[in-house]
Structure 1
Amino acid sequence: MTIPTITLAGKQVGKVGLGLMQLTWSPSPPPEEEAFAAMKAAADAGATTWSTATFYGNGAPGEKGPAFDNLRLLGRFFKAYPEYVGRIQLVVKGGIGPGMDITSDPDMNRSLLSYAGECLGVPIDVYLPARMRPGADPVSFFRDFDTLRQEGLFGALGASEISAPTLARIVGAGIPISVVEIEVSLWSWDADVRAAVDWSTANNVPVYAYSPLGRGFLTRTWKRPEDVPAESFQGHSPRFQGDNFYKNLQLVDMLDSMAAKRGISTAQLALAWVCAAGPYVVPIPGSKSVERVRQNTEAANITLSAEEMAQIEEILSQFPPSGARYPASHSVALML
């Protein structure tokens, strides 16, 4: 299968990528053989840039604790299927120390990168701090990571949940940013997200669009708020709770109707829209289903007309998201 490609950190990759979080950091991770099948299907369909993290694992995070489950899974995948080595670009989030503390400390990140390399057995193409520490000077914070890049510990530097003005400061200080990971979807399209996408377009820097399917909400993973697992992220998100859940379903109803008329799935409609949000926007949906992975990747070949884009814009104006993306107790500020 062929899908459009984009240059990300110097490598040609598919315009749809793959998010690996739910393969190890979820209430019920899939069996390894099921995860491997989904990963192979993604690569074979053209989704060749993959998002992972040093902390995607169940259990207490630590320098060499269960938080490295996702990287260990990847290492076993490449050992079992060496023909995929070199075909896949790995974008690894880090900068999270023991206790989930955000840190740019070079020694801590050297340790994280060293063990990540042991787990993977292949080079890290892109490394990025999962969040910037609130109150930190952006230039100093990212210069710590760029020092590690210059030491050759990874190929390129990225950023996550960083606003357009902050990105301008970082890049203006001579620190190269190769990819920006932010949440972009049909219910994450506020002014800060739009500004970051506009910045990416103006500066030719790809956007890694995580949770492009609204963490499963846009695909009706759950029918009622009571169906959402209490131990999951969604179980704590205001958008998945009480009246907010049912209000947000109105948006899904409209999208379902539009997708049915086009003869595609609602997931494909949502992903095609994210692809069209900017020339450098790469959605990174995650799934453990081979068929869903293939359908998600094929969305890169779906072109929405100007009339369809306008129709979606009108739907979004009528049904804005009800409830915040993150719970009020969440300690990490977003889009700094």
Structure 2
Amino acid sequence: MKYRKLGHGLEVSAIGIGCMPMIKGGNILYGENADLGESTRTIHRAIDLGVTFFDTAQIYGPFSNEELLGEAIRGKRDGLVIATKFGFRFEGQKIVGVDGSPANARAACEGSLQRLGIDTIDLFYQHRVDPSIAIEEVVGGMMELVKEGKVRHIALSEAGPETIRRAAKAAPITALQSEYSIWEREVEDEILPACRDNGIGFIPYSPLGRGFLAGTIRSRDELPENDWRRNDPRYSEENLPANLAIVDAIAGIAAKHGVSNAQIALAWLLAQGDDIVPIPGTKRRTTMEDSVAAADVTLDADDLAAIDTAAPKGGTNGPRYGEQGMRMVRL
């Protein structure tokens, strides 16, 4: 495994693991329910392969994803970088709004530490920007947790460029997590530059386009009825056929290298800069092993040019979220 540094010297494996799919039932389901035993074996195998970076969040499940990861890393904690997120308000297990207050950060941190079974969260994100609370107050509250030893590094997710700059003036921000992939490149205009200007690492989530870029889904009919992607505009009956052209271009490059589509999509992200660490979501050893192998795939100039032609910035059909989801990003 290769390793990279995010902001403020935090070293992680060049490919991280998005743990969100590793739950049974819950509020965000891709494909069939995870087999919890296989999820645990996937985490253990990833550690054996040198993966150190594991990403979860309070809202995944909610809560149950942190519990699963915590149980899986018991006795294997040394050398791992465990990332989790806060930023929502709950009534029981129902999300009822965003809440970036220092009080919520503290309560969420305490709950996450307990569920994960660890003494310190290595990377603690605000999951979504709360427009009702100044970002300076948010990161100030998060830094109190750093001072107390409950958090090592703080981070943001889906923040806009001005919020990133303000946050970086107020506190040491180690990473920004936002969607970035061959079919979602809008961060390249202002958000990536804002991160780089302030020494902030970048963590792309959904680096495989919620599975689309892997090339295994050619029709909405292949998605289970309760699959979250049935609400994804890019998977709609109108947009999916046009977006398959991107998949076909990736497949051509994958054939040239003798690797999978997923490896090409991840290698493309790695080629965008040494400060980029994608976290493909997985729940099975086979897909995890395939994704991790992308760290050893090198794309040449012809490959990169072919991808730029097939998937230019803004060239994907459909927005990446529905209307409600789009209101919560890049604030």
Task: Report the TM-score, using the length of structure 1 for normalisation.
Answer: 0.89
Counterpart for residue 285 of structure 2: 290
Contact 1:197 1:278 (8 Å CA) reproduced: no
Counterpart for residue 16 of structure 2: 17
Cα deviation for residue 135 of structure 1 reads 4.7
Tell me, in whole angstroms, the C-alpha distance in 2 between the residues paired with 1:135 and 1:250. 41
Tell me, in whole angstroms, the C-alpha distance in 2 between the residues paired with 1:301 and 1:203. 28
Q: Which amino acid aligns with 1:185?
A: S
Cα deviation for residue 137 of structure 1 reads 2.6
Unaligned 5+ runs, structure 1: 58-66
Structure 1 residue 45 and structure 2 residue 49: aligned?
yes
Offset from partner CA, 1:161-187 (integer Å, 9 cap, x none): 012232112112x31101110111011
Offset from partner CA, 1:185-230 (integer Å, 9 cap, x none): 011102x344222333333321111000000111133221222234
Counterpart for residue 273 of structure 2: 278
Structure 1 residue 200 and structure 2 residue 204: aligned?
no
Task: Note the 1:58-97 alignment, pairs <5 A.
Answer: 67-79=62-74, 82=75, 84-97=76-89
Contact 1:52 1:93 (8 Å CA) reproduced: yes
Cα deviation for residue 326 of structure 1 reads 0.4
Task: Choose which of 136, 139, 142 in structure 1 pairs with 2:136.
Answer: 139
Tell me, in whole angstroms, the C-alpha distance in 2 between the residues paired with 1:203 and 1:180. 11
Task: Note the 1:102-121 alignment, pairs <5 A.
Answer: 102-121=98-117
Quick check: which one's helix share is greater?
1
> Closer, same or farther in 2 for the Cα pair 1:297/1:194, shift >3 Å?
farther
Contact 1:184 1:211 (8 Å CA) reproduced: yes
Cα deviation for residue 250 of structure 1 reads 1.1
> Closer, same or farther in 2 for the Cα pair 1:200/1:302, shift >3 Å?
farther
Tell me, in whole angstroms, the C-alpha distance in 2 between the residues paired with 1:105 and 1:137. 9
Contact 1:104 1:145 (8 Å CA) reproduced: no
> Closer, same or farther in 2 for the Cα pair 1:226/1:329, shift >3 Å?
farther
Counterpart for residue 176 of structure 1: 172
Tell me, in whole angstroms, the C-alpha distance in 2 between the residues paired with 1:23 and 1:280. 26
Q: Which amino acid aligns with 1:119?
A: R
- RMSD over aligned CA atoms reads 2.0
Task: Note the 1:206-221 alignment, pairs <5 A.
Answer: 206-221=201-216
Contact 2:205 2:280 (8 Å CA) reproduced: yes
Contact 1:187 1:214 (8 Å CA) reproduced: yes
Tell me, in whole angstroms, the C-alpha distance in 1 between the residues paired with 2:86 and 2:65. 12
Tell me, in whole angstroms, the C-alpha distance in 1 between the residues paired with 2:47 and 2:190. 31
Q: Which amino acid aligns with 2:85?
A: K
Q: How many residues align?
A: 321
Cα deviation for residue 149 of structure 1 reads 2.6
Tell me, in whole angstroms, the C-alpha distance in 1 between the residues paired with 2:313 and 2:165. 32
Task: Choose which of 145, 160, 163 in structure 2 pairs with 1:163.
Answer: 160
Offset from partner CA, 1:239-291 (integer Å, 9 cap, x none): 00112011101111111112111211111000000111122000000112212
> Closer, same or farther in 2 for the Cα pair 1:141/1:85, shift >3 Å?
closer
Q: Which amino acid aligns with 2:82?
A: L
> Closer, same or farther in 2 for the Cα pair 1:129/1:77, shift >3 Å?
same
> Closer, same or farther in 2 for the Cα pair 1:135/1:112, shift >3 Å?
closer
> Closer, same or farther in 2 for the Cα pair 1:288/1:209, shift >3 Å?
same
Counterpart for residue 251 of structure 1: 246
Moved more, 11-20 or 99-108: 99-108
Offset from partner CA, 1:52-87 (integer Å, 9 cap, x none): 001110xxxxxxxxx2101111221123xx1x2122
Q: Which amino acid aligns with 1:327?
A: G
Unaligned 5+ runs, structure 2: none
> Closer, same or farther in 2 for the Cα pair 1:155/1:284, shift >3 Å?
same
Tell me, in whole angstroms, the C-alpha distance in 2 between the residues paired with 1:126 and 1:226. 38
Offset from partner CA, 1:64-114 (integer Å, 9 cap, x none): xxx2101111221123xx1x2122211111121214221122233322221
Counterpart for residue 149 of structure 1: 146
